[in-house]
Structure 1
């Protein structure tokens, strides 16, 4: 099992844990703390990291993330384990459980506001920062199956929300891309790459490749991709070439997450399941 706590992060467990909704693919939500309103003409000094730690462990615990990250020093503090929800986005009653969507729904508050001043230099966006420690956060997210992708595109200062994409695709999202929320952060983020690429799947092998008694590379590939997308909870050991009930149940969970029902969610992959799973 991947690490529940980011290796090297300062631990400040709040204890108020709650499970995520593992029907959905794993993800990361990125924020900025936006502690001050500065401008290019009037920059302001960055707020001290320890001040934000005191806030999230005190009066701000009701909106605490998983991680507080300082992109200038690389320092990180963690308040919730990876398998718990955190509380940094609006989660309206009766709607999408925005704080809980995914095998993990990791939330990162970046210590930053536009035109913050550090070491005498002014930074307009997170993309302009040294982004120290980002590689460790990304490696941790990948270990939980989060792909490097931005399913709604790389963040800008505008809000662009699509609930279907949110519910069906894992990856990285900005606060401004999260349903039920009105914020527009984090703004432009550093570019990254380097995750192990997902193997390009062969064409759909046909329905006859799956089911009781089947043993082949397509069954293994299906299981591996289900795990990558956050739909592997029924595996006790992991996917293999041999079709089993865990394969059917995990496939069914994925189909249900597409809002399919009846024969479209029977746990046996057809062309649409295959295309959506690898899409």
Structure 2
């Protein structure tokens, strides 16, 4: 069984668990949209701790499964994956929007259009660093939610709703696509990791996301990468011990690969990116 609680997320169980109805597995993408700002008048982003306290307290009746901070990669989970949450309107009769699937995992990204963080203003969610997205996507996918948008990936703040599609198709939906609701968020959402660029062959590992490469991460993917870096003449390892654990030797070796591709400076810092990863052609494990 997949993890009821997202690995790496803070667990802040608010109780009030209830089962879902079964059917195609779904995820719903929201933004908190807790302030109204414009390009001419940006507003400082509301703090993550403030939103976390809200959903754990006075806003518990509308809390999602996951609060995600795309600027830091922080997550807080309020109910387990197999429970419904109550972040969308569910009118009497018709589809039960919060329960219409084997899971209906609801994600609130801490964001509003033209929020300001430091000296930078972010018009769209996809303009943020989107830190932690790969981990979030992978956890949601582990619950059977397809990496698809049955009603199209959100690209603006307009509503597109079809109750028949909602009832029959698993995948990701924007709040703007959920029946019985009037909200128009999220406006944008990051691309699925490893599915947006054609790969040379299905025999190669898709890019697992930048957050995957953390010190101490243990995976057969890292061992396969280790072998490829050595094979292309970029191995800078002192030994082959713990070849499946990301460490300083991997970073040195990957930096050598980046320099081999022509990158320099901060672009050759040993932290894998999608373009260099795809060119390395790590065998599928």
* TM-score relative to the length of structure 2: 0.67
Deviation at 1:10, TM superposition (A): 0.5
Deviation at 1:64, TM superposition (A): 0.4
CA distance in 1, matches of 2:193, 2:48: 27
Task: Map 1:50-129; keep pairs closer than 5 Å.
Answer: 50-129=49-128
Partner of 1:107, secondary structure, is strand
The answer for unaligned runs of 5 or more in structure 2 is: 196-201, 204-285
Deviations 1:203-234 (A, max 9, x none): xxxxxxxxxxxxxxxxxxxxxxxxxxxxxxxx
Partner of 1:173, secondary structure, is strand
Pairwise CA RMSD of aligned residues?
Answer: 1.3
CA distance in 1, matches of 2:12, 2:44: 25
CA distance in 2, matches of 1:116, 1:71: 12
Contact 2:28 2:173 in 1 (8 A): yes
Contact 1:148 1:193 in 2 (8 A): no
The answer for unaligned runs of 5 or more in structure 1 is: 198-279
Deviations 1:3-55 (A, max 9, x none): 00000000110110000011x10011010101110000110110000101110
Instruction: Give the total of aligned pairs.
Output: 196
CA distance in 2, matches of 1:139, 1:92: 31
Deviation at 1:106, TM superposition (A): 0.2
Partner of 1:56, secondary structure, is helix
Deviations 1:127-178 (A, max 9, x none): 1111001111100011111111000001121100001110011000000000
Deviation at 1:181, TM superposition (A): 0.1
Contact 2:20 2:102 in 1 (8 A): yes
CA distance in 1, matches of 2:89, 2:111: 20
Q: Is 2:24 the partner of 1:17?
A: no
Contact 2:134 2:193 in 1 (8 A): no
CA distance in 1, matches of 2:96, 2:110: 25
CA distance in 2, matches of 1:17, 1:123: 35
Contact 1:128 1:190 in 2 (8 A): no
Task: Map 1:199-214; keep pairs closer than 5 Å.
Answer: none
Paired residue for 2:224?
none
Deviations 1:91-121 (A, max 9, x none): 0011210001111100000000000001210
Structure 1 runs (4+) deviating above 2 angstroms are 193-197
Deviation at 1:194, TM superposition (A): 2.4
Contact 1:151 1:173 in 2 (8 A): yes
Deviation at 1:190, TM superposition (A): 1.4
Contact 2:12 2:76 in 1 (8 A): yes
CA distance in 1, matches of 2:92, 2:150: 25
Paired residue for 2:186?
186
Deviation at 1:75, TM superposition (A): 0.4
Partner of 2:30, secondary structure, is strand
Q: Is 2:34 the partner of 1:26?
A: no
Classify 1:135/1:193 alpha carbon distance in 2 versus 1 (closer, same or farther; 3 Å).
closer
CA distance in 2, matches of 1:136, 1:191: 13
**Structure with more relative contact order (C-alpha pairs < 8 Å, separation 6 or more):** 1
Partner of 1:146, secondary structure, is coil
Partner of 1:76, secondary structure, is strand
